[in-house]
Amino acid sequence: MDFLELLLIAVGLSMDAFAVSVCKGLSVKKLEPKHALLVGLYFGGFQALMPVLGWLLGSRFETMITSVDHWVAFLLLALIGGNMIRESFSKEEEMNDDFGVKTMLLLAVATSIDALAVGITFAFLSVKILPAAGTIGVTTFLLSVVGIYIGRAFGARWKSRAELAGGVILVLIGLKILLEHLGILG
């Protein structure tokens, strides 16, 4: 997997966190830099941690799944991406201006579950997990910080577009992995 593919996956995975960050920006009466830093650290941190956990799980079962790993990668990325696309068309979520540990922890876990599945896929594809997780974490941190300011400035119209874009990116990368393994793409 080259850096551009990894960066696209990082951006795709970051879109849930970006969308929630936009909502957080909408909900805050007075946005302070500490809000942006907090959102970036929670979301970026969990987006970096979850692929590592997934990779550890996937590495344990790699020998049993090697013959179908490309199908597993495709299905996981297609399911995650498809779910993000579906969510992009759903009704808007309730705004929450709480930045407490409990709220932020729940949001960080909820927005990074898909990164756990991608980490499993990374194990099957023999991706170097630490640089990959770092790229995902930093990308998510940056997009989350930008998202909270966009939410404050522009409003909710970006949320569904971000989820749609992230979902499409993940589905296309999954399809590329499958087509390369089948010899259709070089």
pTM for this model (two decimals): 0.76
80, part of any domain: yes
Q: What CATH number does the domain containing 98 carry?
A: 1.20.1250
113, part of any domain: yes
52, part of any domain: yes
8 A C-beta contact, residue 138 and residue 43? no
Which of 167, 8, 35, 166 has its CA nearest to residue 107? 35
Tally the domains of the chain.
1
105-134: per-residue pLDDT in tens? 988 998 888 899 899 989 988 899 999 999
Q: Cα(22)–Cα(18) distance, rounded to whole angstroms?
A: 6
38, part of any domain: yes
- Size (the chain), residues: 186
For 6, the token pair is 């990894």
Per-residue pLDDT, averaged over 133-152, amounts to 95
15, part of any domain: yes
Domain limits at 117? 3-181
pLDDT category of residue 140 using cuts at 50, 70 and 90: very high
32, part of any domain: yes
64, part of any domain: yes
Three-state SS at 156 = coil
3-state helix, strand, coil in the chain (%, to 5): 85, 0, 15
186, part of any domain: no
Query: 186: exposed, middle or buried (C-beta count within 10 Å: 0-12, 13-18, 19+)?
Result: exposed
pLDDT category of residue 4 using cuts at 50, 70 and 90: very high
